[in-house]
Amino acid sequence: MPQPAEAAFFDLDNTMVRGASLYYLARGLHARHFFSRRELQLFARRALHFALRGENLGHLVEVRELALALVAGHRTADLRAIGEEVYDEYVGAKVRPGTQALASRHLAAGVPVWLVTAAPVELADVIARRLGLTGALGTVAENVDGTYTGRLIGEPLHGEAKAHAVRELAARLGLDLARCAAYSDSANDLPLLSMVGQPVAINPDATLRRHASAHGWPVHEFRHWRTAARWSLRLGTAGLAGVAVVSVAGLLQRRSGRP
């Protein structure tokens, strides 16, 4: 049996779920008349950029400021209730079975599994609980008497801030980071990945893929369309043919419901 000092930390967006969880929350809030279609389109553009190119700190800050402004004056209990509905409406279908299986292996072995994300902690808590995980760390919005002020407590859990939050959790729970594992798709999470004994790249961006290869880290690729596109390039059918492969693969995914 593993010692209690072990734990596994999973990034959320493009690691545990396909796409940007904040966009799914935005869709749910828009459907409940929290903001306009134009504002939703801004979230959509940022989510598309994220899906294609990975995290960008400038975009993250922009979307964060918009999100804080939109929830200011609303009750925390309302956002948590909406988070439950958003999971049922959008997020549950976006969970990557491959990544979920990795988390389940840790849990089956008695190892705690934590979700660590820049997404709002209210949504992160819902997703972690629905997936049967141990808990979640997320970005915390300030509230006074249960009402959001439009400000953050601390920094968004991104990059070094995410690593710092995990260090604090490890100190509080007595975890040995050398015995812990971490999973992410983004080079922005290198501070977290580099401080654990078992770093793993999931659907990595180009920078993280190179780093993982150079350091002998395991890499898991669960994006079927990405694999199809890579084979197209290897066979010398880039250009329009490559675009066609990606488009057809994406269409098949939507029809079959695969990740």
Active site members: 11, 13
CA distance 230 to 259: 17
CA distance 248 to 60: 30
Both structure tokens of 222: 């669960």
Under DSSP, is residue 118 helix (H, G, I), strand (E, B) or coil? strand
Tokens 């080079």, residue?
A: 187
Q: Taking the chain, what is the end-to-end CA distance rounded to the nearest angstrom?
A: 32
Q: Within 13 Å of residue 123, how many CA atoms lie on the same side as its CB?
A: 28
Under DSSP, is residue 235 helix (H, G, I), strand (E, B) or coil? coil
Opening angle at CA 169, ends 163 and 174, nearest 5: 120
Alpha-carbon distances of 61 from 55, 81, 95, 152, 156, rounded to whole Å:
11, 25, 25, 12, 9
Complete DSSP assignment for 183-222: EES-GGGHHHHTTSSEEEEES--HHHHHHHHHHT--EE--
Is residue 18 a contact partner of residue 94, using CB atoms and an 8 Å limit? yes
